[in-house]
Structure 1
């Protein structure tokens, strides 16, 4: 049986910025639905939720009070047993200064930041240094979203130049974002793994029915995984998943097959902050 140096962190991304109720009847939109989904996914093996919120019309939102309401609903459902990672995604609605302003106003426990979204001329390297310095100082568990190897190399360059300070960052490798039909296969992970020369822990997310195979590959290679309705509605057998928890269950089953334990939220907090 394989022996892994650390447990697997399963993150659930239950809704994303674009899908609507007609896409799936169990897509969580409201704060209370996010709370219900959090409990089901916690029981299935997830220790972190990647949270998107919507406005009154169901559109992508970075509203600070909206996030606070959703955080309260999830905490009411699961307490501290799940890390709440808010998204700062632009989703063709927000610009980099607005994204950064939301994060600094909210000061969440955890956040995902798309590097290419904030690495913009209006921010500049001085602005990046200020923002990432603030994230490090405030001990916000920050995951950097990277869409291709060029993004990863840019991140590495910013770190080497001292623009990004040393801190317990983690990375998310997005597989197949620019593939035909936006589908993912496990081989999409290999260029990232080969190019990753730093010590940051990494996770992956993938699109479509290949999500589970990609997640199992990442787990076998010592990475972490993000699954959920944001990027995929299908079980590994091609059938529509009944809910987000079913996608989490598949990964937990793969982890057991590999002999890899699962992180709890508390153990993940300790491990990732001490990385």
Structure 2
């Protein structure tokens, strides 16, 4: 199972409708947003759930119910669930949710998984693979990649099915992202000789130029209000679909450029 060229992350764990009135919080809002983003060019939904108070929710039963609701409505749009802790959940709970939610695509932070015994992380990655769950490993730095390489079985690390996502700007003051922040990740992949299925997301107003750099480097894009509510010109996007459409337009340009150089 490969990543789509564009995945949308429409809400995240922390933003609310006070941050943007079009940010989806309820399952019906998420459904409508996902459909609009699919029409705009997104091939997958990165799914965060909220509790009744609007807070971040990581619950296997809630995920099963959400997937049962979404799958018949979204058709061929893939769904990836998050295991983000958001300061609320421990690695054991995150692993349980990943393995018991009925999802076949899961994003997992290497940094969060390694908060406890590294052997437990290795066991989790092996079990997820055995269950046919595609884990996309979240890396905030080259050091996260190096840590992942220490605990991920070699056959998974060097598999072309390995899924990674590089996150730019999350822990930078002001959450500023620039394309040069991608370079350490590219150098790391070249150094250890892996060719994974990788994507990038970027926080702040630099989201568009960073995603364009990723597409031109052979990667994929995750875009949406989880990371930024800004259009390329710095204006506030009307909704997630507008962000997807702008990146989809970049994708067309990138594909044409690649074709010219083939």
Say whether the fold is shared (TM-score over 0.5): yes
Is the CA contact (8 Å cut-off) linking 1:14 and 1:228 kept in structure 2? yes
Give the secondary structure class of the aligned counterpart of 2:79. Answer: strand
Q: Distance in 2 between matches of 1:139 and 1:231?
A: 28
Which ranges in structure 2 are unaligned for 5 or more consecutive residues?
Answer: 258-262
How much has 1:165 moved relative to structure 2?
A: 6.8
Distance (whole Å) between structure 2 residues aligned to residue 195 and residue 162 of structure 1: 16
Residues in 2 aligned to 1:165 and 1:250: alpha-carbon distance in whole angstroms: 32
Shift of 1:68: 2.1
SS at match of 1:49: strand
8 Å CA contact retained: 2:164, 2:197: yes
Equivalent residue runs for 1:1-275 within 5 Å: 9-79=5-75, 81-121=76-116, 124-159=117-152, 162=154, 168-196=161-189, 197-259=193-255
DSSP 3-state at the match of 1:144: strand
Distance 1:225 1:143, change over 3 A: same
Q: In structure 1, list runs of 5 or more residues that go unmatched.
A: 1-5, 262-275
> In the aligned structure 2, how far is the partner of 1:198 from the partner of 1:178?
26
Structure 1 residue 120 displacement after superposition: 2.4
Cα drift, residue 260 of structure 1: 5.5
SS in 2 for 1:209: coil
* Aligned-partner Cα distance in 1 for 2:125–2:158: 10
Runs of 4+ in 1 over 6 A off after TM superposition: none
**Structure 2 CA distance for aligned equivalents of residues 100 and 107 of structure 1:** 13
- TM-superposed CA distance for 1:7, in Å, is 9.6
TM-score of the superposed pair, with normalisation by structure 1? 0.86
1:188 positional shift: 0.8
- Alpha-carbon distance in structure 1 between the residues aligned to 2:135 and 2:219: 16
Number of residue-to-residue matches in the alignment: 252
Q: Which residue of 1 aligns with 2:260?
A: none
Match of 1:271 in 2: none
Partner Cα separation in structure 2 for residue 152 and residue 15 of structure 1: 26
| Counterparts in 2 of 1:36 and 1:260: CA distance versus 1, 3 Å | farther
- Are the structure 2 counterparts of residues 164 and 245 from structure 1 closer, same or farther at C-alpha, using a change threshold of 3 Å? same
Q: Secondary structure at the match of 1:34?
A: helix
TM-score calculated relative to the size of structure 2: 0.91
What CA distance in whole angstroms lies between the structure 1 residues aligned with 2:92 and 2:256?
40
CA distance in 2, matches of 1:205, 1:78: 23
Contact kept in structure 1, 2:156 and 2:162, CA below 8 Å: no
